[in-house]
Amino acid sequence: MKVIVVVAALLAVALARPQNRDADAQIVRADTDNIGVGGYKYSYETSNGISSDEQGEVKNEGREDESIAVRGQFSFVGPDGVTYTVQYIADENGFQPQGAHIPQ
C-alpha cells in the first residue's frame, strides 16, 4: 500500500510541474537582408510566440563621429499568456524602448 501511495505522489508531482514550451520552440521564419558594410536587417519568429525585427545603419560613415543607429521591435508571450511588444531605437542617444507595459 505504501508503494502505491509513493508512486501516486511522484506521479502527481511530475504532472504538476510547469511545462516549458520554450524548450521545444522551433524557428518558423528567419530573414536577413543587406548584412554587411553600411547596415543590416533581420527578422525571425519562433513557434512559441517570440519574434524580432531589427535594422541598423551606419551614420556619418568614415568620420570621427561615426555611429550606428538601430531601430526594431521584439515580442514574446509572458507567463501570464499576454503578448508583450517592445519597440526601440538605439543610437547616439542610447537605448530607447517603448511598450504598453513599460512605465513612462
Residues 58, 60, 63, 68, CA torsion sign: negative
Q: For the segment 51-68, what is each residue's pLDDT rounded down to a tens digit? A: 999 999 988 888 998 888
Which H or E run contains 94?
Answer: strand 94-98
Query: What pLDDT score was predicted for residue 23?
Result: 80
d(CA 95, CA 52): 16
User: How many residues in the chain?
Assistant: 104
C-alpha grid cell, residue 44: 525571425
Residue position matching grid coordinates 543587406: 34
Query: What pLDDT score was predicted for residue 15?
Result: 52
d(CA 30, CA 19): 26
pTM of the model: 0.71
C-alpha grid cell, residue 96: 530607447
Q: Pick from 75, 28, 21: which is nearest to 47 by CA?
A: 28
